[in-house]
Structure 1
């Protein structure tokens, strides 16, 4: 559910009561479109997240720590210059629009007290964070610059006067009058659903909120506004007024709605039309938004940061698959090599009956159990022996080609397996460091050009997933090849149990045995993890091999993550979210 004007009012109200009077101690910009302000107020520390992400724009208090780039972006430097040590004197929403304005009192370069406005526009891909000088109403800087080439109506560039986004012809609910809405209904000629009409004509009301309004009015979803009359019109007016009164009174009750175990929607009010969904209520809208968006936003950013690696892996995988097709075709051609040797052998066995100048010979094929005769074409310019040598040469050509292609095919199949594993690794990655490990691995293998050296912090090795089974046994899951090799050959002991999906790309899984026997339930739990973190995640009866770690070896010269093993057993498992959710995960 997108953040609408009602949710924005809830956010602004909460931030105003929590942060007004606070001092800005620190400004950081961990992402290109995200800023975090560290604020001290009433002997408490707060972290305010401002995001202009095109997919998940939002403003809320957060407890999440993010790693900052070693070189601060320009917008971050501008904010540090102007608002560090500044005092927040007010936070307000513009009308009932998705715009939050943070008024900051600070000193300029000359030591003169001045006011700045940090404006957050929460508008999908048009979202922005803009620092404005209040006195001159000019833009100091913004996290996204909007030039005249991008918008002829409104530019956002340093030194340009700030202008609000284009105003829509909608009713301001904070100044609501039933007559205005009735007039619009009477003048309307479009065959619109009632909920769509309400969302189109009242500012700050999203389609989700308008569905609640018509549900409370007893009007069915999809009912045309053209058919509205009499009692239904009165019921709609009463429902709109009641909903707007809740907005004015700020009677917020933030909650998240779940479909099965997945969060599907959230809102600042309880929505009766979603009564069949499981819901959780929260005291804070910030807590609600963070819980709803955190994993979605994190997955989206990981996807963006791994996009170039994914493209390289897919391109190389497609190249290998095309090469495999050519190799299969070549092997098919070589499979008929024996007929050339038979031709040569039959010519040599019938030399006495062949004369130079003959263009063919009909010979008994003594290699055929039925004793059939075959016609063998001859070159009239060659002697019988030379014709036989010609066929032997063709046979040897195909024989040698077949031998070489089989070696190339095996190497190509190993490369295909490697890239398919990398696709699974990219899906399993949840941290920036894990993406960088895959990038560095591909650089070392020669698939990606090495970047020019730039200043960067020393990276620590990422950690594999750590689960604890219901019986208390530690289970580890690798998320990329670096983690897989670390798990298998450094972290684990020879007596530990090693697991991997059979002939299917996936993660290495280690069960810590502590030199004790492992019961079957732990084997099933670990096998569920191996299947879940593999290409067969959505399949059933997935074969998972397991053996003692001492039976797993890494061949000399093998690519990262590639191993061989023996004396294994196989268990067939269907990945189950419930089994995995019952296991405790150690962060």
Structure 2
């Protein structure tokens, strides 16, 4: 089963993750060998996982953050939080990734045990997951970070160099490829399979034609279009790949739209399984001990049952052959008294040779115990010459009785162990039902209007506002129709606002949309309590600039009459409403919010940091039974700080 990404995997994932360039680093979490970077991207929140020696991809499997952040976490947060990703790169064709954030670079070493290192603009080490020294480099604070010795890149290698590398290797061609060109065994096998070559052929014996075939096949494979998939054998995952390989022909495969999704599903499930094992580790150990005890007790029960049965049968056998055994005891006593034990033994042996029936019954003689063991009906009976026939039988009955007594005790202990086992199994079952420390974030498919800021007016009209230059441009060009209305605040940098089907809306909706426009503008972050806004018809809004001027991205001109609202209050309400069959957290004018919910939080511009405001709103919504993520609240709030002025429905 695959446990870490290859150089080929890293090449494909790095190509895919270029979409994260420009994303903002919100927060960083560290646990063991992993760091998780919480990003704010164009598509919303994304979590980037980097595990030393293992993997690098976007993840939806979120591990519960440690209660106390490590010193490594704090250093990473100090230097990277709030920064923007400038580049994500692979070092040469090695298992090393570089994430550049401003003046800093986070380096993830995914080979062997791996490491995660933060360096500054001069390539000096600020912090590392672990500090260590090697023959040719050292990972320690303030030291210059040096990459491991360079290895050959199969993507860039020229024909002549390729030929030289393979021919100088005195080994099988599959090993030569894997070693010399840093691709690993699987891809070396795949190249030779596609080329139809015998992988065991000596590399030094390859002809020029064969070498050329291998070279061209290698180049074609590593430029193959992605087809991310997980490979299964007997329903168990065994590999995750960015491309389809002939090596796994006939295996069950599951395909994904992105390699990151495939990696996340593969490693995420492994992580969840590890978390489950960790969660029940002690209980499973106790269960194993109880099962071993149970097995021993079952063996003991069988032993006691057998002892009780065998001794009972021997006692019964003595009484069933009363006359015979009584005569034997009498004869043996007389013989011993007359001859002594040694002569008695000698006479028995002679009797056996002569075929004497009584002598043949004797199996052993014990002078010390004054006992003779005979065989009767295939069973051996030990007879003590100093005891009567009744006393000899009683010895066996007493043994049977003791064995039965032990059996009863063992049975009680056995039942007790079974009860304990059931209790432990129940506890394991309960633990399995508990929420794991690793959980998969199920991302629902967002509605089209969630690309924008939005609310539903008290009259039931959908109102949309841009979030930035791109969404402002998109809103006006693609989503404003002739039957809509346009609103804008008299504030520089305010968002464009569109009332869908607005020409059928009443005065109340117009007021709410204009109030939304001023509240979502920079007037909020400036701490203003009121501002002006107007509405106009779509035909008045155009990209056509006055002569000599240029309209930038997200900018539009409004010509003709503007219908003004003056002194609009910057005041909004946060609540959870149901719209189109789903629950959404919204931030809208107070009248619009209270139309759809009895519980809401009224906010105005203020001194409370936006992050703290989000936390307080989340706590209130949580008390009302709404489990809302902080990033979802953050996304709907206006820009800048604020204060809670009223909580309705508490």
Structure 1 length-normalised TM: 0.55
Instruction: Say if 1:258 and 1:103 are closer, same or farther in 2 by CA, change over 3 A.
Output: closer
CA distance 1:61–1:392, shift in 2 (3 Å)? same
1:27 aligns to what? Answer: 28
- Match 2:90 to one of 76, 85, 93: 93
1:318 equivalenced with 2:282 (yes/no):
no
Residue 175 of structure 2 is aligned to residue 196 of structure 1: yes
1:213 to 2:191 alignment? yes
Change (3 A) 1:231 1:343: closer
CA contact (8 A) 1:133 1:140 kept: no
- Residue 152 (structure 2) pairs with residue 171 (structure 1): yes
1:186 alignment counterpart: 167
Distance, in Å, in 2 between the alignment partners of 1:27 and 1:419 is 42
Q: Deviations over 1:459-507 (max 9, x none)?
A: xxxxxxxxxxxxxxxxxxxxxxxxxxxxxxxxxxxxxxxxxxxxxxxxx
- Per the alignment, residue 118 of structure 1 pairs with 106
CA distance in 2, matches of 1:219, 1:393: 81
Label 1:270 to 1:359 Cα distance change in 2 as closer, same or farther (>3 A). same
Paired with 2:293 and 2:306, the residues of 1 have a C-alpha distance of 20
Q: Which residue does the alignment assign to 2:216?
A: 238
Q: 2:145 aligns with which of 162, 168, 183?
A: 162
1:533-567, Cα deviation, whole Å (9 max, x unpaired):
xxxxxxxxxxxxxxxxxxxxxxxxxxxxxxxxxxx
Deviation, structure 1 residue 134: 4.0
Deviations 1:407-437 (A, max 9, x none): 42353256258649968996x899584899x
| Aligned 8 A contact 1:89 1:104 in 2 | yes
Q: What is the CA distance between 1:189 and its match in structure 2? A: 2.5
Indicate how the Cα distance of structure 1 residues 314 and 209 shifts in structure 2: closer, same or farther if over 3 A, else same. same
Aligned-partner Cα distance in 1 for 2:382–2:194: 90
Tell me the SS of whatever aligns to 1:335.
helix
1:302, 1:432 within 8 Å by CA — same for their partners in 2? no
Give per-residue Cα distances to partners, 1:49-72, cap 9 Å, x unaligned.
1223x6xx2111122333233333
Distance 2:276 2:382 in 1: 65
Contact 2:58/2:260 (8 A) holds in 1: yes
Equivalent residue of 2:98, what SS?
Answer: strand
Cα 1:347–1:180 shift into 2, 3 Å: closer
Q: Distance in 2 between matches of 1:290 and 1:301?
A: 15
The secondary structure found in structure 2 opposite 1:71 is coil
Distance between the aligned counterparts of 1:388 and 1:309, measured in 2? 54
Retained in 2: the 8 A contact 1:88–1:104? yes
CA contact (8 A) 1:341 1:391 kept: yes
Matching residue within 409, 412, 423 for 2:411: 409
**Distance in 2, Cα, partners of 1:9 & 1:266:** 14
Match of 2:207 among 221, 226, 229: 229
TM-fit CA distance, 1:136: 5.5
Unaligned runs of 5+ in 2: 336-357, 359-375, 438-650
1:270 aligns to what SS in structure 2?
coil
Change (3 A) 1:430 1:212: farther
Q: Which residue of 2 aligns with 1:37?
A: 37
DSSP 3-state at the match of 1:101? strand
Q: CA deviation at 1:23?
A: 1.8
- Output the CA distance in 2 between the equivalents of 1:390 and 1:212: 80
TM score, norm. by length of structure 2 = 0.51
| CA distance, structure 2, for counterparts of residue 424 and residue 198 of structure 1 | 53
Offset of 1:393 from its aligned partner? Answer: 7.0
Question: Which structure's CA Rg is the greater one?
Answer: 2
In 1, Cα distance between the equivalents of 2:312 and 2:25?
A: 83
Deviations 1:213-234 (A, max 9, x none): 3344343454442442143222
Gap regions ≥5 residues in structure 1: 106-114, 363-369, 437-587
Match runs of 1:536-555 below 5 Å: none
The answer (yes or no) to whether the contact 1:340–1:392 under 8 Å persists in 2 is: no
CA deviation map 1:129-172 (0-9, x unaligned): 23334436124131xx2546xx666554555553433x26x422
**8 Å Cα contact 1:132/1:138 also seen in 2:** yes
TM-superposed CA distance for 1:127, in Å, is 2.5
> Equivalent of 2:15, from 13, 16, 26?
13
Cα 1:392–1:287 shift into 2, 3 Å: same
SS at match of 2:108: strand
CA distance in 1, matches of 2:286, 2:8: 43
Residue 173 of structure 1 aligns to a residue whose secondary structure is: coil
Once the two structures are superposed, residues 365-414 of structure 1 have per-residue CA deviations (whole angstroms, 9 ceiling, x without a partner) of xxxxx99xx9984574x8x6xx9578647634641441342342353256
CA distance in 1, matches of 2:404, 2:71: 60
Instruction: Give the Cα separation in 2 of the matches to 1:290 and 1:360.
Output: 91
Note closer, same or farther for the CA distance 1:277–1:343 as it changes in structure 2 (3 Å cut).
closer
Instruction: Output the CA distance in 2 between the equivalents of 1:344 and 1:272.
Output: 78
| Aligned pairs for 1:460-475 within 5 A | none
For 1:198 and 1:347, the matched residues in 2 are separated by: 85
After superposition, where does 1:77-156 map in structure 2 within 5 Å?
77-105=74-102, 115-123=103-111, 125-135=112-122, 137-142=124-129, 145-147=130-132, 156=139
Cα distance change, pair 88–342 in 1 and its aligned pair in 2 (3 A):
same
The separation in 2 between residues aligned to 1:199 and 1:376, in whole angstroms, is 75
Distance in 2 separating the partners of 1:72 and 1:390: 78
Q: CA deviation at 1:311?
A: 3.6
Give 1:460's aligned residue: none
> 1:255, 1:268 within 8 Å by CA — same for their partners in 2?
yes
Please list, as runs of the form range in 1=range in 2, the aligned pairs for 1:52-67 lying within 5 A after superposition.
52=52, 57-67=54-64
Say whether the 8 Å CA contact 2:88–2:98 is kept in structure 1. Answer: yes
Aligned counterparts of 1:239 and 1:70: Cα–Cα separation in 2: 51
Q: Following the alignment from structure 2 to structure 1, what is the Cα–Cα distance between the partners of residues 319 and 419?
A: 42
Report the counterpart of residue 227 of structure 2 in structure 1: 254
Q: 8 Å contact 1:347–1:388 — kept in the other structure?
A: no
Q: Distance in 2 between matches of 1:388 and 1:70?
A: 77
Q: What SS does the aligned partner of 1:297 have? A: helix
* 3-state SS of 1:126 partner: coil
Match among 250, 256, 262 for residue 288 of structure 1: 262
Q: 1:327 to 1:77 in 2, by over 3 A?
A: farther
Deviation of 1:98 (Å): 0.9
**Structure 2 vs 1, CA of residues 396 and 375 (structure 1 numbering), >3 Å: closer, same or farther?**
closer
**Which residue of 71, 75, 78 maps to 2:72?**
75
Q: Is the 8 A contact 1:344 1:392 kept in 2?
A: no
- After the TM superposition, which residues 559-574 of structure 1 pair with which residues of structure 2 at under 5 Å, given as runs? none
Matches of 1:431 and 1:103 in 2, distance apart? 40
